[in-house]
Structure 1
Amino acid sequence: MLRFTLPSALLLAVCLNLLDLSPARAEVGLGAAPPPGADVLIDGTRETLDEKWTYWQGPAFASSLPIKWKIVDDPVDEGTVLMSFDPVAAGGKYGTADIVTKKPYRDFRLHVEFLVTKPGGNSGVYLQNRFEIQVLDGDKTKHGMGAVINETESPYHLYNGTGKWNAYDIVFRAARFEDGKLVQKPLVTVYFNGQKAHENVQINKVWGGPRSGVDGGNDGGAGITDTPQGLKLQNEGHDVRYRNTWIKPLTLAKADTSFSE
């Protein structure tokens, strides 16, 4: 019998590749397909919405199950998509009818496609129901479209505009703790419509207060706790559509979220 022995370094690389723990390369942009091991969160069906999502019952929660968000026709392409909708959120009442995945996540690779139907449309993608990647038409500031909110400037030039589909591709590494103390802050890398917008951005706190997300009321948002949380989509009473959304858990030992398309 012939036996082949791999050098230890090569063997380790092969094992890591098989485990797929590294986000080093990934398909990005509109239409990116979920890789093996990903959880499909939005596929345009009511069944998946009810199976995978619930309302975030934060301090401003004012709705009730079943989820009032609607499955509607895709305004651009064939198929059906998810529409942010709940009457209690009308007028920009954030935190009243946000939806969050039932499953929590720590480190992950995320793909989200969204369409803002009207000027000024507002929503948000919350990593671990804490850290917002903004969805806000017309705003080019640190609070604006595509910003790691209040941490980076908006990469507004990458935005396709209202009435068109857009895509976020994200790798997120959760905060790290030792003996209950925060020792490494969260990191995130974001592609916006296939172009790298942010790389290894450190997130310093939960912005927006307790109505915004988990830990928002702890020490002004700086009191991040050592708990995985779900992905959240914000409803501020605006018509924002979502489709083709999936998430893949990762284990990022190094403090590095960089990846290439």
Structure 2
Amino acid sequence: MSKQVFTFFTALILTTGFVMGQEKEPTTPEATEFYEPVPPKVVPGKNGAPPSDAIVLFDGSDFDEWISSEDSTAVKWHLNKDGSMTVKDKTGNIQTKRNFGSFQLHLEWKSPAEIQREGQNRANSGVFIQQRYEVQILDNNDNPTYVNGQVGSVYKQGVPLAMASVPTGEWNSYDIIFHAPKFSKGGNIKKPATVTVIHNGVLVQDHFIIEGTIKYIGWPKYEAHGKAPLMLQDHRDNSRVSYRNIWLRELK
């Protein structure tokens, strides 16, 4: 076979394969419509109430969903008459009794109206996802600090896109969408975790790729794990941060 003939047949085979590999262009609107799977129905909450499929973690009535992170005993934080709870200094972090993977989380928090201390010691707390990945809580109003440790940051990793806090002493909201990391059978990271954070309606973390477990000193790195509790921090500096209206929707 001559070189010219061989080239011609090669080009014909490649061209034919390309055409046959393409999907046929739809000629009716019905061809691009599908009816399964049908999404589950979720009834939105009204006036700040959680949606119908949410797990209510705290509604102000009790600590039934929580335990002390220190020793798995009863929570020692303050349960307030206004339906909130407040960090009780030096009693330790608290965590959920349940373990979670990926989720949508809503919670509200506020710093005390009376300003005490400065920098990282002013109303410092944090939302620890799977006990490892922290979304920072801090009173940054007229209180600058390192930007990867300010309010709305993924602590020591992700600088927030904006500082969206309300005035000191008023209630803030966090809406957090977290996708858990995936590991190989050997314990290596296959897909890192991501987090999106909306602070008082303002996007401050946009599908941020988490680099590993939060570290105060040193670089973050991943360690294989499964589902784990949600944890709220007692920073042990008389932070007096309060929380209310905490609910979570599990995601696949």
Q: Tell me which interval the TM-score lies in, with the shorter structure as reference length.
A: 0.7 to 0.9
Secondary structure class of the residue paired with 1:142: helix
**Which residue is 1:71 aligned to?**
79
**Which residue is 2:154 aligned to?**
148
CA distance in 1, matches of 2:167, 2:65: 29
TM-score (norm 2): 0.74
* Contact 2:135–2:155 (Cα < 8 Å) also in 1: yes
CA distance in 2, matches of 1:137, 1:168: 14
Shift of 1:35: 1.4
* Contact 1:70–1:83 (Cα < 8 Å) also in 2: yes
Task: Give the number of the structure whose residues are more often strand, by fraction.
Answer: 1
CA distance in 1, matches of 2:154, 2:135: 5
Larger radius of gyration: 2
**Which residue is 2:207 aligned to?**
200
Q: How many pairs align? A: 207
CA distance in 2, matches of 1:113, 1:227: 27
CA distance in 1, matches of 2:185, 2:135: 29
Report the AA paired with residue 85 of structure 1: K
Secondary structure class of the residue paired with 2:36: helix
Cα 1:67–1:201 change in 2 (3 A) is same
Shift of 1:228: 0.7
Q: 1:38 aligns with which of 54, 58, 63?
A: 54
**Which residue is 2:243 aligned to?**
242
Cα 1:227–1:56 change in 2 (3 A) is same
Q: Which has the higher contact order (CA 8 A, sep 6+)?
A: 1
Gaps of 5+ in 1: 1-5, 21-25, 74-78, 90-96, 211-218, 252-261
CA distance in 2, matches of 1:223, 1:148: 15
**Which residue is 1:123 aligned to?**
125
Q: After the TM superposition, which residues 1-261 of structure 1 pair with which residues of structure 2 at under 5 Å, given as runs?
A: 10-13=34-37, 15=38, 17-18=39-40, 32-46=48-62, 49=63, 51-57=64-70, 65-73=73-81, 79-86=82-89, 88=90, 97-117=92-112, 118-119=114-115, 120-138=122-140, 139-140=144-145, 141-155=147-161, 157-180=163-186, 181-208=188-215, 221-237=220-236, 238-251=239-252
* Contact 2:93–2:232 (Cα < 8 Å) also in 1: yes
* Contact 1:145–1:155 (Cα < 8 Å) also in 2: no
**Which residue is 2:3 aligned to?**
none
Write out per-residue CA displacement over residues 48-91 of structure 1, whole angstroms, 9 at most, x where no aligned residue: x1x2101113xxx7xx7322101113xxxxx32111114x35xx
CA distance in 2, matches of 1:128, 1:9: 39
Gaps of 5+ in 2: 1-29, 116-121
CA distance in 1, matches of 2:162, 2:202: 12
TM-score (norm 1): 0.71
Shift of 1:222: 1.2
**Which residue is 1:213 aligned to?**
none
CA distance in 2, matches of 1:136, 1:143: 9
Cα 1:243–1:9 change in 2 (3 A) is same
CA distance in 2, matches of 1:171, 1:187: 8
Secondary structure class of the residue paired with 1:246: strand
Write out per-residue CA displacement over residues 118-151 of structure 1, whole angstroms, 9 at most, x where no aligned residue: 4311110111111100001124511011111122
Shift of 1:19: 7.1
Between 146-155 and 231-240, the greater mean CA deviation after superposition: 146-155
